[in-house]
Structure 1
């Protein structure tokens, strides 16, 4: 496979320098205990230990990306996981920040395949002729829309996408609908119980919460206008992804939508050799990270070295240059 071959070549290129690198001892701020980010923390720790048994990356659970940006901005953690959209908001000093956070530097892109989904009850979709987000505003449908809790970036992105097609809290109320704040698993329960008509989230295709909805509720996946995807990407620094046809029961066509990604981030104050050693270990021992969950199998060295909304730390950039991943 291309990834295995690439990792092998890169590993040969790094062998001599990795043998003499000092061990790293870093704290990584992630998300909920037991979630994907905690698994990524374990994989990153195993990757650095593969090069030096004395190295350690200690994972600490936090409130997620916004909280991690606050810790990084205050130099109270060595590393943080955060979404690209959260980083974009922080750079601009948007809520919940009091001003721009400018000391963050990327170590690597961990994934970019968490697409925004918009599931609507099929009966309501057929009754009001709704096939796309763009159909909602003029449909007159009294839709109760599940939006993730405040502080979760997917709520920011979902609200922005809906606003672009004319769906706001006021317009929903005029039609007899409303926004309901609920986490992913809670949204799944609410739509199955008939207490929501529509759910939104930005997580992996066939995530367990979506599988539950698909198996236990009669829903359709709404399409997203191209101009909404483009505008959202410009606003949040997100990407575009296609949810392939037949990913869900009532989905006969490909759906192009906005995709969130996650970054491993340090501060500009991290020692260059430490950042170099960390990025080097991630590339040479990428299988340790890929093994943490089936959703991470797509991770490859090229993605790690993909530019994002944040500049690379000079040490990480040097590691990727040495590996031939960037010029």
Structure 2
């Protein structure tokens, strides 16, 4: 996808009915997502494919997920990325993974979907609660990624010391199935793809946190909220699962040209059925869900689109 040029984006803008500013440079726009087996990667690929039908070309780049994406976007005007908003809170406040360095250049473009976290284990392991993971090997996704950060917070409130195992979700799913690790913790749109992979291939249990554990995590991380996953979401799941969640947004650098930010935002949010036109997890990719961002300022180009369609944005 090396055809990802700013000139191509501006041509796409023209196709959307807006006269672009003439640009002479041909700097590519990179779209940071995540690794194999993640939810971000296929979502990003779906967005890129949909934008290509509108004459807008962007280049997908795999990454370690939200934390890496936020840092890359903060550093590069021509980079956009997928981001978990609880990670975005750490980025802009200079806490958590971004301790000591506020990411002041990150802006929101459009909503993706809501992410919540669960755990998968093999039924034969006898593990079915967070407290029972003490001393166990738990896969948590890429090193220093948001899934690891939120698992460490959950482990702290549960007073357990599991063995952290890093890697792409797809690889960690295989390790659970092969008995190399005891559990897999992941967060994504529900049902979480890597957990579905485990549950669909063997007799597995998917579980979350207790009420007390959820409350304790929310007290530590105010950007999160409580969520419930109904029975039947995963194969073999007979009871509801309680956990925590937050929204994901596509973000951009504040210096991404306004015309480009507007073109991308308008094209994506003009999809009449994002679930079928973009990707199955994109049901929440709608303009009305922009109000779920209470962490980041919106990019001026994106704000222009929301004004046009009458969407009231939160005051930050």
- Normalising by structure 1, what TM-score? 0.74
**Partner residue, 1:151:** 144
Task: Give, in whole Å, the separation in 1 of the partners of 2:195 and 2:300.
Answer: 39
Instruction: Please tell me whether the aligned partners of residues 245 and 255 of structure 1 are also in contact (alpha carbons under 8 angstroms).
Output: yes
1:108–1:305: 8 Å Cα contact kept in structure 2?
A: no
Indicate the residue corresponding to 2:277 in structure 1: 291
Is structure 2 residue 27 aligned with structure 1 residue 20? no
Change (3 A) 1:306 1:318: farther
Following superposition, the deviation at residue 149 of structure 1 comes to: 3.3
CA distance in 2, matches of 1:254, 1:22: 50
C-alpha separation in 2, matches of 1:146 and 1:223:
15
The answer for the alignment partner of 2:185 in structure 1 is 200
- Give 1 or 2 for the bigger CA radius of gyration: 1
**Pick aligned residue for 2:132 from 136, 139, 149:** 136
Find the aligned partners of 1:240 and 1:105 in 2 and give their Cα distance: 25
For residues 87-119 of structure 1, what are the alpha-carbon distances to aligned partners after superposition, in whole Å with 9 as ceiling and x for unaligned? 12212223544511111110111111x321122
Measured at CA, do residues 167 and 318 of structure 1 come closer, stay the same or move farther in structure 2, by a change above 3 Å?
A: same
Which 5+ residue runs of structure 1 have no aligned equivalent? 1-15, 170-177
Judged with a 3 Å threshold, the aligned counterparts in structure 2 of structure 1 residues 326 and 163 are, in CA distance, closer, same or farther, namely: same
Q: Which residue of 2 aligns with 1:6?
A: none
Q: Is the 8 A contact 2:33 2:60 kept in 1?
A: no
Partner of 2:159: 166
Alignment counterpart, residue 247 of structure 1, candidates 223, 230, 233 = 233
Q: What whole-Å deviation, never above 9, does each CA across 1:154-207 have from its counterpart, x for those lacking one?
A: 1111111121111125xxxxxxxx333343223322232333332211134344
Aligned pair count reads 294
> Residues 211, 203 of structure 1: CA spacing in aligned structure 2 closer, same or farther, 3 A cutoff?
same
Q: Which has the higher contact order (CA 8 A, sep 6+)?
A: 1
Paired with 1:144 and 1:272, the residues of 2 have a C-alpha distance of 46
Matched with 1:118 is 119
Task: Determine helix, strand or coil for the equivalent of 2:58.
Answer: strand
Q: Deviations over 1:210-259 (max 9, x none)?
A: 23322444332334123433443462623443221022344211112123
1:116 is paired with a residue whose SS is: strand
Does the CA contact (< 8 Å) of 2:262 and 2:301 recur in 1?
yes
Contact 2:47–2:279 (8 Å) recurs in 1: no
Matches within 5 A, 1:263-274: 263-274=249-260
Q: Does 1:99 align with 2:84?
A: no
| Partner residue, 1:31 | 33
Structure 2 residue 203 is matched with structure 1 residue 218:
yes
CA RMSD of aligned residues (A): 3.4
Query: Does structure 2 retain, via aligned residues, the 8 Å contact 1:204–1:295?
Result: yes
Going from structure 1 to structure 2, the CA distance change for 1:254 and 1:45 (only over 3 Å counts) comes to same
Instruction: Measure how far apart 1:36 and its partner are.
Output: 5.0
Q: Distance in 2 between matches of 1:183 and 1:57?
A: 23
Could you tell me how far apart the structure 2 residues matched to 1:247 and 1:85 are? Answer: 24
* 1:150–1:270 Cα change, 3 Å: same
